[in-house]
Amino acid sequence: MLENLFTLFMLIILQAVLGFDNLLYISLESKRAPVEKQTQVRNLGIGIAIVLRIGLLFLLLQLLPLFEEPLFHLHWEGVVEGAITGHSIIVLFGGGFILYTAVKEIWHMVYLEEHAKESKEKSSFGKVLFLIVVMNLVFSFDSILSAIALTKVLWVMATAIVISGVLMIWLSDRVSKFLARNRMFEVLGLFILFLVGVMLISEGGHLAELAFFDVHITPMSKSTFYFVIFVLVIVDIVQGRYQKKLIKEHEAHKH
């Protein structure tokens, strides 16, 4: 029992760390819903995803070999090689969709702000809820596979999923409110989301053993990912403070 409790604690920490990018996506995506329904869509989306995650856990425990076995092979000598698995398809799809979302939002933010406002107003509650649930499941693959690697005790894994989901519901409102109060951090959030997409695509390519022109795709390590995020945050903070300093100096010269 003591060993199981320690494993449960480790799994909750692991789920929290791996869930950071998921939480950021949920906070940014929920802004597309009507203002009065944003909290509801976050909570309901995460709640549905918790139930589906537990179902996915059962499924993966039974069918894990099928997800890891190649569905088909790519062989174009000297151009592209690969062994596409079910797991790699899910990760590649998730990474591609997140990359597309981040690039689209950055483009709208820089060049098409009015069009971005219109598109956000048109997003329905159901559409936002569907995207949050689907992407939550894409993100959950890594955490569930990591959990299976740590323990085979079902109740430990299911409890960790539920606790981490409750924590995510609690944190999602706070992250969303922080982004609403500090609009400049939305840009940082979108670039972090861009990195998440790149990381997932590289991981999916690695899982599929993809090689282009005899160069194999290597996954971006989690340590590199978090280090880049740390650098981006520091740069953003320093740039913000420096900008405020320049504004104050400019106002002082005017007076």
The model's confidence at residue 120, banded by pLDDT at 50, 70 and 90, is very low
Q: Which of 186, 197, 20 is nearest to 116 (CA)?
A: 186
- Whether pLDDT at 112 is above 60: no
Mean pLDDT of the chain: 78
What value does the mean pLDDT take over residues 44-70?
80
C-beta of residue 60 within 8 angstroms of C-beta of residue 151: no
- For residue 255, pLDDT beyond 80: no
Give the separation between CA 152 and CA 40, rounded to whole angstroms. 34
Mean pLDDT of 156-174: 82
Decide the pairing of beta strands 70-76 and 215-216. Answer: unpaired
The predicted pLDDT at position 97 comes to 81
Identify the band that residue 245 occupies on the pLDDT scale cut at 50, 70 and 90: confident
Query: pLDDT value at position 171?
Result: 81
Per-residue pLDDT tens over the stretch 194-234: 888 888 889 889 988 899 988 888 888 878 888 888 888 88
- The pTM assigned to this predicted structure is 0.68
**In this structure, how many other beta carbons lie within 10 angstroms of the beta carbon of residue 207?**
23
Checking phi first, is residue 210 left (phi over 0); if not, alpha (psi -120 to 50) or beta? beta
Question: Quick one: tokens of 239?
Answer: 């740039």
What span, in angstroms and rounded, lies between the C-alpha atoms of 155 and 161? Answer: 10
- Give the model's pLDDT for residue 44: 86
Q: Decide which of 251 and 16 is more confident.
A: 251
Q: Is residue 115 very low, low, confident or very high in pLDDT (cuts 50, 70, 90)?
A: very low
14 pLDDT higher than 70? no
